[in-house]
Amino acid sequence: MNVSLNDKSVLITGASTGIGRACALHLDQLGFQVFAGIRKQNDAESLLQSASNRLKPIYLDILKPDMISKASQTIEEEVKNHGLYGLINNAGIVTTGPLEFVPIDSIRTQFEVNVIGQIAVTQSFLHLIRLGQGRIINISSVSGRVASPFLGPYAASKFALEALSDSMRVELKPWNIHVAVIEPGPISTPIWNKSKKVAQTMLSKLPITAKTLYGDKIKSAMNWEKKLNQSMSSPDVVVNAIEHALLSNRPRTRYRIGVNGIVADLLARLASDKIRDWLITKQRNM
Ligand SMILES: NC(=O)c1ccc[n+]([C@@H]2O[C@H](COP(=O)([O-])OP(=O)(O)OC[C@H]3O[C@@H](n4cnc5c(N)ncnc54)[C@H](OP(=O)(O)O)[C@@H]3O)[C@@H](O)[C@H]2O)c1
């Protein structure tokens, strides 16, 4: 890693908590000029308290085109002809539930945030990335390789992000803009509690038929999730992969994170659908 960090700027979306926040603070420490996407003033203040005075919070809801173009203008004025060295598309949400009953609006929102928002931000910043001979890093998930039951909306959104990343990687090769995908397994961040709350509200509104049909299986899947929660990794493991994707002379196209990342990759590449289904069903005692 022999890249000089002078005048190198990165934008991280969803930097209020979890992986985004850890990444913003780490890249700030390394010497990058970090633009940290947040949506609330207290998140901006909290980041400013922990970072150097180089870090700049940027109000950025990736579903709001006006905010995206304002953020792009602001950053363009700041970075001038240095452009942007890194765009880390990290913002994301999790929607779960049996696909037969998940409200269509919830599935739409899942795709708006995890897929459409990522493209919108990328489109808006690509001219700056081209100028800065920069790199794009998309935060996917093991769920972008293997789709588990009751995680359908989330997995579908991450599969879509993987596909977009593959297309974009080849499209942007002529300008030497590298596109990497990060595929973490379970990481200890607030996303789990947030998705649990959303899932509980949704489950409480499901019709009785849904509960009769899926109740036991959802409970088994939740027990499996509880087990996973006991072995979650720290966001640092993702941050290390992001640092490599940004700074290495030979960045990878995909970063599998932790044992779960490797297992998901093997399952996706080597196991037949039937074996994968059997393993997933067995693991979750469904
Ligand atoms: N934690 C895991 O186990 C895990 C595993 C694999 C992949 N991932 C992926 O890692 C990424 C970060 O997740 P995390 O675990 O760090 O969760 P997190 O702490 O909940 O962070 C999610 C971030 O996304 C932001 N966000 C949500 N909707 C947004 C929108 N419309 N516009 C802008 N920002 C928005 C949130 O902002 P607010 O605070 O303002 O809502 C927050 O900053 C996600 O893409 C997630 O899918 C996580």
Task: Quote the pLDDT of residue 7.
Answer: 83
Tell me the H-state helices in 132-272: 152-171, 191-205, 208-229, 236-247, 258-270
Please report the pLDDT score of residue 92 as a whole number: 98
Query: In testing the pocket of ligand 1, which one of 38, 89, 181, 189 has its CB within 8 Å of the most ligand atoms?
Result: 189
Q: pLDDT value at position 2?
A: 46
Q: What is the pLDDT of residue 3?
A: 53
Question: How far is Cα of residue 105 from the mean position of the Cα atoms in its chain?
Answer: 21
Tens digit of pLDDT for each residue in 131-148?
999 999 999 999 999 999
114 CA from centroid of ligand 1 (Å): 9
Percent of the chain with pLDDT over 90: 87
- Spatial separation of the C-alpha atoms in residues 102 and 108, rounded to whole Å: 10
The whole-number average pLDDT for the span 195-221 is 91
For the CA of 22, the closest atom of ligand 1 is 16
**Burial status of residue 181 (CB atoms within 10 A of its CB: 0-12, 13-18, 19 or more):** buried
pLDDT greater than 60 at residue 130: yes
Is the pLDDT score of 53 beyond 90?
Answer: yes
Percent pLDDT > 70 in the chain is: 99
Residue 93, pLDDT > 60, answer: yes
Active site residue 154: yes
Mutation probe of ligand 1 site: the residue of 93, 96, 238 with most atoms within 8 A of C-beta: 93
pLDDT at 252: 98
Q: Which atom of ligand 1 is nearest to the CA of 158?
A: 47
List C-alpha distances in Å: 260 to 196, 232, 236, 243: 20, 10, 16, 20
Residue nearest to atom 25 of ligand 1 (CA): 14
Paired with 187 in beta bridges are 233
Instruction: Provide the mean pLDDT of the chain.
Output: 95
Closest C-alpha to 157, from 147, 149, 167, 166: 147
Residues linked to residue 233 through DSSP beta bridges, in sequence order: 187
pLDDT tens digit sequence for 17-44: 999 999 999 999 999 999 999 999 999 9
How many Å lie between the centroid of ligand 1 and the Cα of residue 190? Answer: 8
At 14, the pLDDT band (50, 70, 90 cuts) reads very high
Q: What is the spatial order of strands in the sheet that 86-89 belongs to?
A: 56-59, 33-38, 9-12, 86-89, 135-139, 178-184, 254-257
Task: Name the CATH superfamily housing domain 9-283.
Answer: NAD(P)-binding Rossmann-like Domain (3.40.50.720)
Q: Give, in degrees to the nearest 5, the angle at Cα 137 between 136 and 142.
A: 150
Residue 230 has a pLDDT of: 84
Residue 172 DSSP code: T
pLDDT at 6 over 80: no
- CB count, 10 Å around CB of 11? 30
Quote the distance between the C-alpha of residue 205 and its chain's center. 28
In the predicted structure, residue 165 carries a pLDDT above the cut 90: yes
How far is ligand 1, taken at its centre, from the CA of residue 208, in Å?
Answer: 32
Mutate to test the pocket of ligand 1, among 12, 16, 237 (most ligand atoms within 8 A of CB): 16
Pocket (CB within 6 angstroms of ligand 1): 13-20, 37, 39-40, 60-63, 90-93, 113, 117, 139, 141, 184, 186-187, 189-191, 194
Instruction: Tell the residue nearest (CA) to atom 42 of ligand 1.
Output: 14
pLDDT at position 102? 95
